[in-house]
Amino acid sequence: SNSGDLFGVTGGTTGALYSIDKNTGLSSKIGNLGVFINALDFYNENVLYGAGDDSFYTIDTSSGAASLVAKIPNFISSGDIAFNSVNNQFFATSLSVDGSSDILFSIAVDGTATEIGSIGFSDIYGLFFENGTLFGYTGDQQQITIDPTTGAGNFSQNVVGAIGQLFGAAGVSGATVPSTTVPEPMSVLSLLAVGAFGAGVLSKGKL
């Protein structure tokens, strides 16, 4: 969020919203979501949005309650959304029907969605948009760049030092560019693997 807070969710229909201490990694439960959500990011006005299955939500950060914004045709959330402040829309990754490649969508804050194109990679569980570049992170620890106009993805490098699958990406403001052995965009990413604070967790928050 704009205030520097980091949030995460647990999966499943009984999933919950958590606040996460960015220094210790410890989490505190805020409340139950009431729906399945596996993607999070903040809108400009500090409103938390989420996606799960074919649905797009707003989420109350004080209670965890999710409110449906829209159901999106031909969309099944594969694992993350990333806000683009230039056009006030979210990028989102969707599963494909045949499972061969995730698909990039753009979603407006009112839930209006557009399918952009096939990414060429599957299991993209983390997204991060910065300075015109859209980064994707796969479950098997690959960093890719994604063309926001066509959806086409290109391998960038492997994420070094991660344990298990990667779920989610969050920016940290004021950071310097890391060495090439730690593949991260300019503001540095917080990438949480399974087990960081519970299996099946995705975390997201602009810090």
Residue 136 pLDDT > 60: yes
User: Are 33 and 48 spatial neighbours (Cβ–Cβ below 8 Å)?
Assistant: no
pLDDT level of residue 76 (50, 70, 90 thresholds): very high
- Say which CATH number the domain at 43 has: 2.120.10.30
- Domain membership of residue 1 (yes or no) is no
Give the residue numbers spanning the domain of 55.
6-204
Within 8 A by CB and 6+ apart from 147, the residues are 134, 153, 154
Closest CA to 80 of 100, 99, 107, 62: 107
Q: Give, in order, the Cα–Cα distances in Å from 20 to each of 8, 87, 163, 202, 207.
A: 7, 29, 19, 11, 11
Tell me the one-letter amino acid at 158.
N
How is residue 108 written in tokens?
């407006």
- Percent pLDDT > 90 in the chain is 54
Window from 6-10, 75-79, 135-139 with minimum mean pLDDT: 6-10
Strand partners, 105: 92, 115
> For residues 187 and 63, what is the distance between their CA atoms, to the nearest angstrom?
29
CA 167 centroid distance within chain = 8
What integer is the mean pLDDT of 47-69? 96
- Domain membership of residue 187 (yes or no) is yes
User: pTM of the prediction?
Assistant: 0.81
Q: Whose structure tokens read 């949030």?
A: 7
Counting the structural domains of the chain, the total is 1
pLDDT at 139: 85
Q: Give, in order, the Cα–Cα distances in Å from 31 to each of 63, 92, 101, 134, 135.
A: 5, 24, 33, 31, 30
- Domain membership of residue 113 (yes or no) is yes
pLDDT at 174: 39
User: Are 11 and 22 spatial neighbours (Cβ–Cβ below 8 Å)?
Assistant: no
- Domain membership of residue 10 (yes or no) is yes
- Domain membership of residue 27 (yes or no) is yes
- Percent pLDDT > 70 in the chain is 75
pLDDT at 186: 34
Answer with the residue of higher pLDDT: 139 or 95.
95
pLDDT level of residue 194 (50, 70, 90 thresholds): very low
- Domain membership of residue 91 (yes or no) is yes
- Domain membership of residue 199 (yes or no) is yes
pLDDT level of residue 37 (50, 70, 90 thresholds): very high
pLDDT at 22: 79
Residue 31 pLDDT > 60: yes
Residue range 77-105, pLDDT digits in tens: 998 999 999 999 999 999 998 878 999 99
- Domain membership of residue 54 (yes or no) is yes
